[in-house]
Structure 1
């Protein structure tokens, strides 16, 4: 690609994406609110690797409801805030995953398996 073509491509990119309207949007709460909110889904995705015994059922339930409400809000405001919607959609999926892990651990048998393994280890140590 010649330098003239590169200059033309960069000018085209800049005029399309780095214009007055884009800069105006970047300096609003419509942009920075969702960007700062992305800490919640990032933490939720990171927590999917942690031990199930540490999951708080009530907090996970609250975050599922919170994210669902804000997904609806993000689509209701004008102009529609797709960045906020995406942030809470990611959080909703992560929190539902945490909720499934919580229920599986506490109610559907994974916890019982761990307790049985601990009892086996304790009984084997006592018999020696």
Structure 2
């Protein structure tokens, strides 16, 4: 939705997609999305391979924390790219941003995930 918007919306006589700052924002959104997917797949693979290993519990904590922080960042940037329209409930981006915030909190808040990660790292 945000990608289509910046390609179609014009400011100062050119599409928003032509502004380098917005291009970098889109690139960062893509990087965070891809990294989140890879961390999640890695966590699933490690848990399937050896579910009893305590060390393997670090992977889901890392994936959950990174992916939900990334989701919040990506959706916040998407709202920003849409401008005022991003806050209107007619666009699903506004709801996705609220959902992303909720995901940072449920199933162990990200601060708890960080504490688990730190404890595991300090054991080594």
- TM over 0.5, shorter chain: no
Structure index of larger Rg: 1
TM-score range, shorter chain: 0.3 to 0.5
TM-score (norm 2): 0.36
